[in-house]
Structure 1
Amino acid sequence: MKVGIVANPQKPGAQRTLSRLVEELAGVGIASIFEENTAKMIGHEGGLGGIELAEQSDLVAVLGGDGTMLHAVDRLGGTSKPVAGVNIGTLGFLTSCTDGEVGEFASALKTGNYDTSRRTLLSVSVVRANGEAEQFTALNEAVLARGQTGRVGGLRASVNGELLNRYRADGLIVATPTGSTAYSLSAGGPLISPSAGVFVITPVCPHTLSQRSLVVDDGVVVELAPYGEMDGPMSFTVDGRDIVELHQGDRVVIEKSPTDLHLLRLPGRSFYAALRQKLNWRGG
């Protein structure tokens, strides 16, 4: 087995965790290969780009936190290989174990004592008024939000070509079940089990209380666009990155990606266990 490793060099303790993971993997006979910046962290030469790393690995380990995982998913190019998150700190929603559990993680890889959680990805197109398009992939969400003017923006949403609503709000989020624990949750959206075949559309600070979150089938195509008078461009992001300005006549087309993320889970590291820990719910 070869494990590809992507580490966040900005995360305190990342180099120490990386060295320990490599040592633990070697101890059970598993080879490590490294993404370019990760290789530099420990003085290795010949690191690989994200897509090449995924192609040459049997499994990819991402060292950092949930934010590091979101960036890694994009860089790995929609790989079908299992992806494991090693959180440097407490357990996150997207991570398989903490940095204090890398020995347990290595043993699980050796014995095959793990499973995977299939996570929906979003395929997103920003279509300009002139017909030009840019493509993006998201694990959590796509967001269309007001720009820098501070005024509440007008946003139009449609589902399968039918008008859903015209919103007066700071923004509009289209999230996967995985993303339901992120920005959508902070905006008042519901928690959704990762295996549910749905998207959730959540307005951010809507002008009227009647504009609520809506859960829709993930087989639909959701389209977002600015409407009405605009003082300036609106901002579009996926997973908190790739900030793009949208102008009148531009639109965002969101649908389920043909590929999924296969998120590695160790025994006892379920979505519900993460909810109990992160949200301080009572459990046995």
Structure 2
Amino acid sequence: MTVGIIANTQKEGARIALDRLMGVLSVRRIASLLEREAASLCGVPGGMEGPDLAAASDVIAVLGGDGTMLNAVAKLGPTDKPVAGINIGTLGFLTSCTDDEVEVFADALLSEKYTTSRRTLLTATVRSVDGTVKEFRALNEVVLARGQTGRLVSLSAYVDGDLLNSYRADGLIVATPTGSTAYSLSAGGPLISPAAAVFVITPICPHTLSQRSLIIGDHVTVELAPENADEAPMLCTVDGRDCVNIQHGDRIEVRKAEHALNLLRLPGHSFYEALRQKLNWRGG
């Protein structure tokens, strides 16, 4: 078995966690491959680009947190390989275990006692009025929001070409079930099980309180567009990472990506456990 490793090199404790993971894998005769930045952190020459790492690995381990996982999705590109998040610190929504549990992780790989949770990805296509087309991939959400103005902006959402609504708000979020625990939740959106085949459209601080989140099937295409030229440029962000200025006349098409993320889950760790822990749920 070969494990490809991506690490957040800026996170405190990353080098210690990386050395420990590689040591645990080596003892069990599991080969390790390092992504370029992880190799640099270890002082190892070379290192692989994300797509090459995914192709050469049986499992990919992502050392960091939920944000590192979002970046890893972009680095790896389309892949069916199981991806395990190993959080440096407390357990996250997207991580399989913490850096204190790497021995459990390695043993689960050898015994094949793990499952995968298939997570929907989004493809965001930005079509500019000048004819330029840019495409991005997201695990959590695509957002169209006001730019440098401090005022509310006017924007529209369409579902399969039909107008859903014209909003006066700080922005709009189109999120996957995975992304329902992120920005959409902070904006008042609902929690959604990762297995649900849906998107959620959530307005950010809408002027009219009756404008609420809407859950729709993930077989549709959602289109977002600014309405007023004097409010441009707006800002499109993809998983809080890729940012594009959006001018009046530009369009953002959001649809379900052809590939999904196979998130590795260890026994005893589930989405519902993460909800209880992260949201501090308690019984009566």
TM-score higher than 0.5: yes
1:44 CA displacement:
1.3
Output one character per residue of 1:135-187: Cα deviation in whole Å (capped at 9) or x when no partner.
00000000000010111111100000000000000010000000000000000
Q: Which residue in 1 is equivalent to 2:230?
A: 230
Output one character per residue of 1:250-275: Cα deviation in whole Å (capped at 9) or x when no partner.
01000000100000000011100000
Letter in 1 for 2:238: V
Output one character per residue of 1:80-137: Cα deviation in whole Å (capped at 9) or x when no partner.
1000000000000000000110111111111111010000000110001133210000
**CA–CA separation in structure 2 for the residues paired with 1:146 and 1:43:** 42
**CA–CA separation in structure 1 for the residues paired with 2:175 and 2:120:** 10
Q: Which residue in 1 is equivalent to 2:101?
A: 101
Letter in 2 for 1:254: V
Normalised by the length of structure 2, the TM-score is 0.98
Whether 1:67 and 2:67 are equivalent positions in the alignment is: yes
SS in 2 for 1:252: strand
Output one character per residue of 1:8-66: Cα deviation in whole Å (capped at 9) or x when no partner.
01100000000000000111110000001101111211200011111111110000000
Letter in 2 for 1:282: R
Q: How does 1:144-155 map to 2 (within 5 A)?
A: 144-155=144-155
**CA–CA separation in structure 2 for the residues paired with 1:145 and 1:232:** 10
**CA–CA separation in structure 1 for the residues paired with 2:230 and 2:171:** 14
Aligned residues: 284
Q: Which residue in 2 is equivalent to 1:202?
A: 202
1:230 CA displacement:
2.2
Letter in 1 for 2:80: S
Q: Which residue in 1 is equivalent to 2:12?
A: 12
Aligned residues of 1:64 and 1:85 also touching (Cα < 8 A): yes
Deviates more, 1:18-27 or 1:224-233: 224-233
Q: Which residue in 1 is equivalent to 2:281?
A: 281
Letter in 1 for 2:247: H
Whether 1:54 and 2:54 are equivalent positions in the alignment is: yes
Letter in 2 for 1:118: R
Aligned residues of 1:4 and 1:32 also touching (Cα < 8 A): yes
User: Which runs of 5 or more structure 2 residues have no equivalent in the other structure?
Assistant: none
1:247 CA displacement:
0.4
Letter in 2 for 1:171: G
1:227 CA displacement:
0.2
Letter in 1 for 2:220: V
1:283 CA displacement:
5.9
SS in 1 for 2:257: strand
User: Which runs of 5 or more structure 1 residues have no equivalent in the other structure?
Assistant: none
The root-mean-square deviation of aligned C-alpha atoms, in Å, is: 1.0
Percent identity, aligned pairs only, is 64
**CA–CA separation in structure 1 for the residues paired with 2:231 and 2:256:** 32
> Which runs of structure 1 show a deviation greater than 3 angstroms over 4 or more consecutive aligned residues?
none
SS in 1 for 2:253: strand
Aligned residues of 1:8 and 1:64 also touching (Cα < 8 A): yes
- Compared CA separation, residues 188 and 132, structure 1 to 2 (3 A): same
Aligned residues of 1:125 and 1:136 also touching (Cα < 8 A): yes
Normalised by the length of structure 1, the TM-score is 0.98
Letter in 2 for 1:117: S
1:282 CA displacement:
2.0
Aligned residues of 2:9 and 2:41 also touching (Cα < 8 A): yes
1:231 CA displacement:
3.5
SS in 1 for 2:201: strand
Deviates more, 1:76-85 or 1:175-184: 76-85
Q: Which residue in 2 is equivalent to 1:22?
A: 22
Q: Which residue in 2 is equivalent to 1:257?
A: 257
**CA–CA separation in structure 1 for the residues paired with 2:194 and 2:232:** 36
1:248 CA displacement:
0.5
Deviates more, 1:228-237 or 1:136-145: 228-237
SS in 2 for 1:230: helix
**CA–CA separation in structure 1 for the residues paired with 2:229 and 2:102:** 54
Q: How does 1:85-124 map to 2 (within 5 A)?
A: 85-124=85-124
**CA–CA separation in structure 2 for the residues paired with 1:230 and 1:197:** 37
Aligned residues of 1:276 and 1:283 also touching (Cα < 8 A): no
**CA–CA separation in structure 2 for the residues paired with 1:51 and 1:230:** 41
Q: Which residue in 2 is equivalent to 1:40?
A: 40
Aligned residues of 1:221 and 1:254 also touching (Cα < 8 A): yes
1:229 CA displacement:
4.0
